[in-house]
Amino acid sequence: MDNQYDVIILGGGIASMTAAIYTAQANLKTVILEKSICGGLVNTTFKVTNFPSKTEISGQELMEQVRDQVEALGVDIREVIEVDSISLKGDLKVAQTDEGNFSAPVMILATGRKPKALPIGAECEQIHYCAICDGSAYKGKRVLVVGGGNSGVEESQYLLSSGVAHITLIEQMGRLFASKQSQAELRSHGNKVDVHLNTLVEAILTKDGKLTQVQLKNTETDTVTKLNIDGIFIYMGHDPQNGLFSEAVSLTPQGYINAGAHMETNIPGVFAAGDIVHKKYRQITTAMHDGTIAALSSADYIRKIQHKI
């Protein structure tokens, strides 16, 4: 038997949670379907310093507080649930999962983005994308951080604060792209940090499936060096998670959803919110904006279809 709701929200990040607050307050039976643990990319953020009312808070703590609020409103949160496929045709939208089918007249797509992997296709247990999640395993060890943007630089600081002995940070371009303040804070760690620009990971070397070395290449000089390393943390940007609806929903060439001013998609009853949406800025507060609009638009849509019945 289907699990019937008024609104299905795919994804459990800040956009999803914000949307759920508004749909629940509109007395719409709402379910959140999250393939992992709710919190999204905010969970991986060491420090949040630009959230109104919070001078500084960890991403995990912020999302725990948001989740508590959502649960208190009676929203059904399903975590570690695999959505195999979705159907967006007809009056009811359906999500087929390993826990059965979920149906609703409205679906909000808030699937977010996923970290980009190394282009060389290498994988091993010592390759990570979240310092807060996995950094504690590298106390007293040497770590490579790939990516010189805010994420790479700030997560390097977190790794050092959690006891990592040494960070080698590489950036494929000729400069770091993190804020000047973050760069200065990182460099204040002195000889615990090495920064290499114009540098790529050329190969991952393992023994018995365990990381032993990385082979780095300087793209200006063609110099190749091997580095003894215990773990790798990758911050090379993100790709949109659109696999469930890439054939049905209008997307940009880069794979982001084309959403209108009311967060509507090209399919009636299907709305979008958060990092999966095509836009210039991706911040916690912009995701909350999207979630708010998507939820209010969802409530308006349901009122209209009920009026027609």
Q: What is the pLDDT of residues 219-235, one digit of tens each?
A: 999 999 999 999 999 99
Residues 274 and 140 in one domain: no
Say if CB 251 and CB 258 are below 8 A apart: yes
pLDDT in tens, 196-218: 999 999 999 998 889 999 999 99
Residue written as token pair 């800040």: 14
- For 81, the token pair is 């649930």
Of 208, 234, 260, the residue at which a domain comes to its end is 234
Q: Among the residues of 164-280, which ranges form H helices? A: 180-187
Look over the chain and give the mean of its residue pLDDT values, rounded to a whole number: 95
Residue with token string 């911050």: 235
Q: Is residue 67 one of the residues assigned to a domain?
A: yes
Is the Cβ–Cβ distance between 102 and 94 less than 8 Å? yes
The burial class, CB within 10 Å (0-12 / 13-18 / 19+), for 118 is middle
Q: Is residue 188 part of a domain?
A: yes
Q: How many domains does the chain have?
A: 2
**Burial state string for 53-70 with b = 16 or more CB within 10 A and e = fewer than 16:** eeeebbbbebbeebbeeb
The pLDDT assigned to 16 comes to 99
Whether 106 is covered by a domain: the verdict is yes
Q: How high is the pLDDT of residue 137?
A: 95
* Residue 120 is assigned to a structural domain of this protein: no
Q: What is the pLDDT of residue 169?
A: 98
The reported pLDDT for the residue numbered 2 is 66
In contact, 212 and 203? CB cutoff 8 Å: no
- pLDDT category of residue 178 using cuts at 50, 70 and 90: very high
CB 47 within 8 A of CB 154: yes
Looking at the fold, whether 23 and 160 belong to one and the same domain comes out as no
Q: Is 126's pLDDT higher than 70?
A: yes
Q: Look up the CATH number of the domain holding residue 230.
A: 3.50.50.60
d(CA 18, CA 287): 8
Nearest Cα residue to 40 out of 96, 95, 110, 108: 110
How far apart are the C-alpha atoms of 40 and 13, rounded to whole Å? 4
Please tell me the predicted confidence (pLDDT) of residue 122: 74
Query: What are the residues whose beta carbons fall under 8 Å from the beta carbon of 247, sequence distance 6 or more?
Result: none
The tens digit of pLDDT for each residue in 246-286 reads 999 999 999 999 999 999 999 999 999 999 999 999 999 99
φ/ψ of residue 26, rounded to 5: -90, 10
pLDDT score at 149: 96
User: Which of 202, 234, 266 finishes a domain?
Assistant: 234
pLDDT at residue 309 is higher than 70 = no
Does residue 103 sit within a domain?
A: yes
Q: Is the pLDDT of residue 172 over 70?
A: yes
Q: What are the tokens at 68?
A: 């508590």
pLDDT digits (tens, 9 = 90+) for 103-118: 999 999 999 999 999 9
pTM, whole model, 2 decimals?
0.87
121 falls within a domain? no
Q: Where does the pLDDT of residue 45 fall: very low under 50, low under 70, confident under 90, or very high at 90 and above?
A: confident
For the cut 60, the answer to whether the pLDDT of residue 1 exceeds it is no
- β-strand partners of 98: 100
Query: Does residue 96 have a pLDDT over 90?
Result: yes
Query: What average pLDDT score do residues 282-303 get?
Result: 98
pLDDT tens digit string along 13-29?
Answer: 999 999 999 999 999 99
Provide the domain limits for residue 43: 3-115+238-308
Give the domain-ending residue among 203, 234, 265.
Answer: 234
